[in-house]
Structure 1
Amino acid sequence: MTAAPPTRSAAARLLPMIAGRIASSLLTLFLVSVVIFVASSLLPGDAAQELLGQSATPAQIAALRHEMGLDQPGPVRFVHWLGALLHGDPGVSFVANMPVSDIIANRLPNSLLLAAITALISIVLALTIGIASAINRGGRIDSALNIATLSLVAIPEFLIATLAVLAFSVKLLWLPSISLVTPETGWAETLRALALPVLSLTCVVVAQMARMTRAAVADQLDRPYVEMARLKGVPFGRIVLFHVMPNAIGPVINAMALSLSYLMGGALVVETIFNYPGLASLMVNAVTSRDMPLLQSCAMIFCATYLALMLVADIVAILANPRLRA
């Protein structure tokens, strides 16, 4: 049976709960900003030294550090950075000498395209695998899918990416090993360039999402209402689609959010391996060049995306499960 829509009193209780979740996420994001700023400040090396090279004199380095504001105390720099970030100004890149927002705007669509294609394929595959495995618990299909998903979970994404390059680029010569995408690239070439990065990320994301989906659906299949519906002669497919899935939607959405948030960390490795011009590879370059404004902005985008996915999953779970509204 599906959950009844919340009454007016229930809706009155929901609003403070959702507001509390949003406030908690904003507080977490603030704490994350502190960690990002401190961690980036503790990186060895110096942006001024990186720009001027080893032949620069101490006076030249000190002058450039003053121009960049790196000689100010850490708390002062953090307040200035956070205040500018809240006003939509992430600063100017130390290396490229151009607004960080412009650099990110050139790379962000590529990362969003990679994440969108991966998410679309992963969700369809994971739901299919998870539901099929839960329905056939203890059977050969369930055993085969469990072995496959466990194997994929155990293999890191960089190894999957390397094996994909060896198989499809080196041996078969079907796909490019470097994913070069530009605004002038056509859709056919773009999809061909994205094939290996999407394959590498999908293998890991699908495995995690499918296992959590299986657990959520299997838990609902053991409930008394499923047995009652079967005794009444309701077709099993109808039970799964119209009774089990609505009740399992909360855990399934949480599983999707957790798995899709992994795309950010996985993309960091995959984009670097395939030289894909996305946000993750941009952050790696910022770490190498000690470009702090660019590094901090990229890290904040990743963390904010993760928290947003978790917040959406949390709210959906509250709306879907009446017990969580108490």
Structure 2
Amino acid sequence: MSPNYILKRLMMIVYTLFVVSLIVFAITQVLPADAAVMMLGENATDEALNALRQSMGLDAPIWAQYGHWLGSLLQGDFGTSLRTGQPVGPIMFEALGRSLLLAVLSIGLMLVLAIPLGIIAAIRRGKVADMVVSLVSYAGVSLPEFVTATLAVLFFADLMKWLPPTGYVPLTENFVDGIRYLVLPVCVISIILIAHVSRMVRSELVDVLHTDYIRAARMKGLSGGTVLRRHALRNALLPTITIVALDVGYLLGGVIVVEEIFAIPGIGRQLIVAIQARDLPAIQAGVLIMAATYSIVNFVADILYAWLDKRIQYD
């Protein structure tokens, strides 16, 4: 992979974030919210409101406000929350860490289960195992997160009393309790990922097993397991990297529902609270951080894809 390609991709990330910043700033400007009123209250006098708007630069032209906001972003200042009066950046990054913990655990569980299920379904195509995996996959894709989460809470928390229904405990405070609170949301998020990826692995592996080079490997006398491990899986699993990268984007959006149901203070839940409170700096920071995370994950996926498959050459 050439350094020029890496530089181009990094510049594309910068360009994407610039466009996202323009869109987010424009949208927040048309929202029916006045930062001065949010900070001083509706009973504030016009003189106090005008003085605060002038001190915050809200009376400046839109392009000047955007330039000031972008300049602050480049210095690591995401602004101050209108709701809490605290800096937005540390709050959002801490929330992002919780969401990424959910995402990483969910993707890890998905890879542990989805790849074996896809392999079993492929090598036993048309048999009972294949039909069971396909049925489970279709069910996982069909059920939305809020239905799965509600059923999981009713059964495992309310009925069986095995796990806590909602809440969050940092792993640094109490590791055991933290894991117990994460089990249900991680499993709920993983279900649709497992269904999606297992179907992809099955489809790709079925195609690979019918290629000429696999037939040639079998004619050399190699065992089925050796052919599967050394030749088939490497090529069949390559598209999974792209799917996992796309799933990260899904997680950053879809995890909002799960965080809300299980009361996990992740970035999705913080963004919902910010939208409800019309906290413009928090909305801007949350969307921009999520876009940056998604762009970086896709960049890493492209690099990893090219590293695993030497036939791919990026210029």
Q: Same fold (TM over 0.5)?
A: yes
Distance 2:155 2:61 in 1: 52
Task: Give the corresponding residue for 1:7.
Answer: none
Asked if 1:158 is matched to 2:146, the reply is yes
Asked if 1:232 is matched to 2:228, the reply is no
Distance 1:273 1:225 in 2: 49
CA pair 224-82 structure 1, distance change in 2 beyond 3 A: same
Task: Give the corresponding residue for 2:292.
Answer: 304
Distance 2:62 2:153 in 1: 44
Distance 2:170 2:312 in 1: 46
CA pair 231-161 structure 1, distance change in 2 beyond 3 A: same
Task: Give the corresponding residue for 2:74.
Answer: 86
The superposition leaves residues 173-228 of structure 1 with CA deviations (integer Å, 9 ceiling, x where unpaired) of 22222223247741111011111211111112222222222222222222111111
Aligned residue-pair number = 314
CA pair 62-153 structure 1, distance change in 2 beyond 3 A: farther
Task: Give the corresponding residue for 2:98.
Answer: 110
Q: Return the offset for 1:116.
A: 2.1
Does structure 1 retain, via aligned residues, the 8 Å contact 2:171–2:178? Answer: no
Distance 1:52 1:183 in 2: 38
Asked if 1:23 is matched to 2:11, the reply is yes
- Cα RMSD, aligned residues only: 2.2
Q: Return the offset for 1:234.
A: 0.9
Query: Which of the residues 162, 168, 185 maps onto 1:174?
Result: 162
CA pair 134-36 structure 1, distance change in 2 beyond 3 A: farther
Asked if 1:194 is matched to 2:182, the reply is yes
Amino acid at match of 1:295: I
SS of the equivalent of 1:325 reads: coil
Task: Give the corresponding residue for 1:221.
Answer: 209
CA pair 235-71 structure 1, distance change in 2 beyond 3 A: farther
CA pair 316-58 structure 1, distance change in 2 beyond 3 A: same
Task: Give the corresponding residue for 2:38.
Answer: 50
Does structure 2 retain, via aligned residues, the 8 Å contact 1:49–1:61? Answer: yes
Query: Which of the residues 39, 59, 62 maps onto 1:74?
Result: 62
Moved more, 74-83 or 272-281: 74-83
Amino acid at match of 1:256: V
For structure 1, the 5+ residue unaligned runs are 1-10
The superposition leaves residues 255-292 of structure 1 with CA deviations (integer Å, 9 ceiling, x where unpaired) of 11112332111211111111112221111111112222
Query: Which of the residues 270, 274, 277 maps onto 2:258?
Result: 270
Task: Give the corresponding residue for 1:39.
Answer: 27
Moved more, 91-100 or 195-204: 91-100
Distance 1:72 1:101 in 2: 24
CA pair 184-306 structure 1, distance change in 2 beyond 3 A: closer
Does structure 1 retain, via aligned residues, the 8 Å contact 2:171–2:179? Answer: no
Identity %: 38
Task: Give the corresponding residue for 2:236.
Answer: 248
Does structure 2 retain, via aligned residues, the 8 Å contact 1:268–1:281? Answer: yes
CA pair 75-172 structure 1, distance change in 2 beyond 3 A: same
Distance 2:84 2:171 in 1: 20
TM-score (norm 2): 0.90
